[in-house]
Chains A and B, each alone.
Chain A
């Protein structure tokens, strides 16, 4: 069957069976030099880095140097699932984490996806894969776990867009039957990833009921851009060794008992709690609107009168119900929703009837209210094409929202946009722009695809747009676009978004309710504590290969009454489940404190890694004014009483002030609060005033590796150390 593709290089490896969650070897593939190697995983590496994102960063550290740019051949995409990846008994255990030097942030990025790639890579014999080098022509990398071969083929695909190439490769590397296709998983990007820094990595699983390839995305950070820069059209993994015991856990009973208990909880409670099984994450749409947290018109507003058009009930009807929609086996939370029999209206697939993966909440908003479009069908089409072309829906939506605001303010006109009116709500023109991003011909579309940070520069240099104004509302931090929650109402969430390792995604901490609504974090120290605990707790998922959602998008019936609110927020019973299943797989004996320590090791390592890449200090933790509060009068005037009160609470009397004056005063107060937050958080994390982990902290964590300490010592300044 593979005779149709020309084999360029091939390497045979010794199979290494999974034991206690690890295969104890990683795979190295250089697509440029066509070199292959298996690297042993030491006990030390497991203790310090655990797996998943930890392994990724360790391997990436060894592969690059402080000058490496995202498009240098030595940059890598490293992918690893982690020791729990592939267990089937406990919901949410099929994630892999990809790490690389990002084109958007020019430092390390890590991004995760479901689909079957992570588990299949492991049973094929590897805890991680490093993809390095650059091929001359498009290639397909194949890891054949049945034959224990790694192969590089010359790609025969004219169309590298994700759905096309993924379906073809499932066909090519199976016996063609519906059942056999599920032993294959494909990574791909798409055409737009060749031109845009927003390239996502699509990861597939074969849906035996719909008989189509489903795509999950490691969306953020530009991994797909690097994939295409390396001229990798796709990576295929196949293995028939999938089983309920593939991780060779030391105690399967614990996995079965904890897993079944959680299945039961989901069975009994999901319909009253988050409705993940029927609507998935879009259950948040109207809730976020109600609390003024729904990004609308580039985060100007947090709510919109047309919310009913994108209400979760609308999506519930669009999603096909009653299918086990887990992105990996055993996920009964089943949030991987899909719309079937959707007819595409525009672009190269016009007229085709397709299955659309998603949208998830973030996509429903990014390609929805944030660009002023309240039409689920448009969102579905945008979601389909973003995946197909290999674009991150979140950066795309937030980036388009920025374009709309620039257009609305007259900074760009039809002259610049090649004829497109790009005001908020211009659905057809925005879709046309997305298509142009995949064609890579039009200058404006190319500029947009470089992301908000570059757009600010390009729009001011090329079109004379005012840079300082765009700085205020260009919603990016560290070079990456903000994900879909309005941050301006919660001080703690400023940190949740902007005091992160890699920029404002929300996979570190979501504290808006705790902070703003529940009033559980009154002091800066309280906020700092939350900004220590939650980012580390959630980092742990990325080390072991887990999805975050089954942690707190379902909770035990008695969680809210058995524990005090502060503890209940952590869902203690589920935390204990994680401790138990980790021990049951690996045979280790961690507790919930050790769990945080494991995460802190990698969290601080990554911080130092960014420092090594010339980032990772206080000045790199930038925050746009729009994230702190209203920037223009229309934002204030949408909630005048609310903001007047906010101003009063900072000790300023709004009486007699113009709206512009009020805005300036509030900004001033909030910038001062931001500084206090930064200090408190750095201190709590064991970093100096400049945001650099101290050697003392690294020693405490056992991460005082000579090469890590050397980087800290090179950059740390005496004046930045805390007095005590």
Chain B
């Protein structure tokens, strides 16, 4: 189990940042991802593996509109 933006999400072995984005249907392109206080570059979403128990923030970078 991991936490994504404060809510629980089932974890599986080898789960990547991209898997989280797909599971949560985060289709917005301007995402900032932090795993336990370290940032993940946008071009590394596909290969970055998320450990079990991680606290993940998937920040949608829009505050204007």
A–B contact at 8 Å CB threshold (below): yes
* 8 Å CB contact of A552 from B6, B58, B59, B61: B61
Q: How many residues on chain B are close to A (CB under 8 Å)? A: 26
Cβ of A518 and Cβ of B64 under 8 Å apart?
no
The stretch that binds B, out of A80-88, A474-482, A565-573, is A565-573
- Contact mask for chain A residues 468-493; partner B; CB cutoff 8 A; 1 contact, 0 none: 00000000000000000100000000
Cβ of B42 and Cβ of A560 under 8 Å apart?
yes
CA gap between A552 and B58 in the complex, in Å: 17
* 8 Å CB contact of A565 from B26, B29, B34, B65: B34
CA gap between A530 and B5 in the complex, in Å: 18
Return the chain B residue nearest A275 by Cβ. B29
Cβ of A565 and Cβ of B63 under 8 Å apart?
no
Given known contacts A553-B64, A559-B61, A565-B59, is B6 in contact with A513 (CB within 8 Å)?
A: no
Name the B residues within 8 Å of A273 (CB-CB).
Answer: 29-30
Interface residues of A in 557-608 (CB under 8 A from B): 559-562, 565, 568-570
Give the distance to chain B from A262, nearest Cβ to Cβ, in Å.
Answer: 16
CA gap between A561 and B57 in the complex, in Å: 12
* 8 Å CB contact of A513 from B25, B29, B60: B60
Is the CB of B23 closer than 8 A to any CB of chain A? Answer: no
Cβ of A534 and Cβ of B27 under 8 Å apart?
no
Is the CB of A8 closer than 8 A to any CB of chain B? Answer: no
Name the A residues within 8 Å of B40 (CB-CB).
Answer: 561
Cβ of B60 and Cβ of A506 under 8 Å apart?
no
Given known contacts A510-B62, A552-B64, is B57 in contact with A518 (CB within 8 Å)?
A: yes
Cβ of B5 and Cβ of A519 under 8 Å apart?
yes
Cβ of A517 and Cβ of B60 under 8 Å apart?
yes
Is the CB of B8 closer than 8 A to any CB of chain A? Answer: no
Q: How many residues on chain A are close to B (CB under 8 Å)? A: 36
Best-surrounded residue of A519, A548, A549, A562 (most CB of chain B within 10 A)? A519
* 8 Å CB contact of A569 from B25, B33, B34, B59: B59
Give the distance to chain B from A489, nearest Cβ to Cβ, in Å.
Answer: 13
Name the B residues within 8 Å of A274 (CB-CB).
Answer: 29-30
Name the B residues within 8 Å of A110 (CB-CB).
Answer: none
Is the CB of A2 closer than 8 A to any CB of chain B? Answer: no
Give the distance to chain A from B40, nearest Cβ to Cβ, in Å.
Answer: 8
* 8 Å CB contact of B63 from A286, A561, A569: A569
Name the B residues within 8 Å of A568 (CB-CB).
Answer: 32, 59, 61
CA gap between A447 and B8 in the complex, in Å: 51
Cβ of B60 and Cβ of A548 under 8 Å apart?
no
Cβ of B27 and Cβ of A509 under 8 Å apart?
no
Given known contacts A518-B5, A518-B57, is B62 in contact with A513 (CB within 8 Å)?
A: yes
Cβ of A560 and Cβ of B31 under 8 Å apart?
yes
6 A–B pairs (Cβ distance < 8 Å), ordered by A: A290-B28, A513-B28, A514-B63, A517-B5, A518-B59, A522-B6
Extra contacts besides A286-B27, A534-B63, A560-B31 (16): CB < 8 Å: A272-B42, A273-B30, A287-B28, A290-B27, A518-B59, A518-B60, A519-B5, A538-B64, A549-B64, A552-B62, A553-B64, A555-B61, A560-B61, A561-B41, A565-B32, A565-B34
Partner-B contacts on A (CB < 8 A): 272-274, 286-287, 290-291, 485, 506, 509-511, 513-514, 517-520, 522, 530, 534, 538, 548-549, 551-553, 555, 559-562, 565, 568-570
